[in-house]
Every structure is written in C-alpha cells, then in structure tokens.
Amino acid sequence: MDASGKNARLRIYVGEDKRHGDQPLYLAILRKARQLQLAGATVVRGTQGYGRSTRLHTTDVVFSEDLPVIIEIVDSYASIRKFAALLDGINEIGLMTCDDVGVLIGRSGPA
C-alpha cells in the first residue's frame, strides 16, 4: 500500500454463477489479485441484489443460482487502477467501483 495515503478500494460486482474458464469468475479475480501481490482482497456473498435487468436475485428462492458476489480489493491507488484495467474487457462483471480509503491499520505478513 502507499505510505503517502493514496490508497483505494476496488469493488467488483458479479453474479455467483459467472464463470471464467473452469472456475467461478470471483475466484479467478481473487487468484489474479493474489498473483499480482495486491495488498488484500475479500469475497462477500450477498443474500439479495439486482442489477441492470432489475431481476431480484435472492436466497428467498429455493434454487437461486445467481446470487450477488462482491470482491473488495484494497491497495495503492496506482495498483488498483492498473488491476481494474486488466478486468475491463470481462463482460460478466456487472459493475466496478473505486473509492479512496484511509488505511488505519495495514499490517504486513500472514493474517
């Protein structure tokens, strides 16, 4: 991360059922972020959501196969912009957002 405080959080919104090759898209994105040694990433599975289609995806339906998934990645602003550019051509990504974050605790090493 950037010691000068120019850090960012990238949020990537995808459907749980989206694939990249033989693996879920969210997992492929997470693995790529790790391979590129970005500071940290978390995958969060939503219980409800909707996107451009306005069709509700929810756990209330017994066999909902397209629940929302959010991948959050925090690193320096420059690293986040570079990583987002790599993902730009993936049509299955519903939305990507980026916002400035102030890192209060940024411990290095295994967590």
Question: What is the torsional sign of CA 51, 55, 59, 63?
Answer: negative
User: Among 22-26, 54-58, 64-68, 96-100, which stretch is predicted with the lowest mean pLDDT?
Assistant: 54-58
Predicted local distance difference test score (pLDDT) of residue 67: 85
The predicted model scores a pTM of: 0.84
Q: Domain span at residue 47? A: 7-100
In a domain, 77, yes or no: yes
Instruction: State mean pLDDT over 44-57.
Output: 73
| Tally of domains in the chain | 1
DSSP string covering 62-110? TT----EEEEEEEEEHHHHHHHHHHHTT-TT--EEEEEEE--S----S-
Instruction: State mean pLDDT over 93-108.
Output: 87
In a domain, 78, yes or no: yes
Predicted local distance difference test score (pLDDT) of residue 36: 97
- Asked whether residue 53 carries a pLDDT value surpassing 90, the answer given is no
Domain of residue 15, CATH code: 3.30.70.120
pLDDT in tens, 20-39: 999 999 999 999 999 999 99
